[in-house]
Amino acid sequence: MKIRVGFGYDVHRLVEGRELWIGGIKIAHSLGLLGHSDADVLIHAICDALLGAANMRDIGYHFPDTAAETDGIDSKVLLRKTVELIATKGYSVGNIDATICAERPKMNPHIPEMKRCMAAIIGIDEDDVSIKATTTERLGFTGREEGISAYATVLIEKA
């Protein structure tokens, strides 16, 4: 068995007039994330980590923010397509460890649903999806509630 590790990072600005989607679920909040797609920072970071682990470039290469077909796209579709892309090289997802950085809204109450959602899309056990949440203690753009970021590390395996 061959295993590889990948790392991903994403950030999006918080703005009025957009829905807040993180980890594949809609979270009630007065602001949403700005992006070409639904701007799901957690899924985007995971997609980048998966693509990096498979040495397949990044999410912007495969799903450019200039493409009409990805305008407003649900990031769950991008995650499914990313899993399909790495499968073309014989890889499957072993596990995911991710962190969401946000002051508000609080993410912890939503983590179980995020895990269920993403595990189902990827086709892995919920126990193989670790999601944590933290703040930046009111420091930086996240602390000022200007945006939300996410980090992800993944392990992929080839039988």
CATH number of the domain that 42 lies in? 3.30.1330.50
Q: Which residues are annotated as a binding site for a divalent metal cation?
A: 10, 12, 44
- Nearest 5°: CA angle at 152, between 89 and 68? 65
Q: Of 115, 146, 110, 121, nearest to 33 (Cα)?
A: 146
* Token pair belonging to 132: 């944590």
**8 Å CB contact between 55 and 85:** no
Q: At what angle do helices 75-87 and 41-53 cross, to 10 degrees?
A: 10
Q: What is the pLDDT of residues 67-124, one digit of tens each?
A: 999 999 999 999 999 999 999 999 999 999 999 999 999 999 999 999 999 999 999 9
**8 Å CB contact between 156 and 54:** yes
Is 147 within the bounds of a domain?
no
Dihedral pair phi/psi, residue 38, rounded to 5°: -80, 0
pLDDT of residue 25: 98
Q: 26 in helix, strand or coil? A: strand
Is 118 within the bounds of a domain?
no
pLDDT at 1 over 90: no
Overall number of domains in the chain: 1
Is 22 within the bounds of a domain?
yes
Is 54 within the bounds of a domain?
yes
The neighbour count for residue 97, using CB atoms within 10 Å, is 16
Q: Which residues are annotated as a binding site?
A: 10-12, 36-37, 44, 58-60, 134-137, 141, 144
Q: What is the pLDDT of residues 25-82, one digit of tens each?
A: 999 999 999 999 999 999 999 999 999 999 999 999 999 999 999 999 999 999 999 9
Is 126 within the bounds of a domain?
no
pLDDT of residue 137: 93
Is 32 within the bounds of a domain?
yes
CA distance 19 to 27: 8
Is 152 within the bounds of a domain?
no
Is 158 within the bounds of a domain?
no
pLDDT at 159 over 90: no
Cα 114 to the center of its chain, rounded Å: 10
Q: Which domain holds residue 79?
A: 11-107
CA distance 72 to 143: 27
The neighbour count for residue 19, using CB atoms within 10 Å, is 13
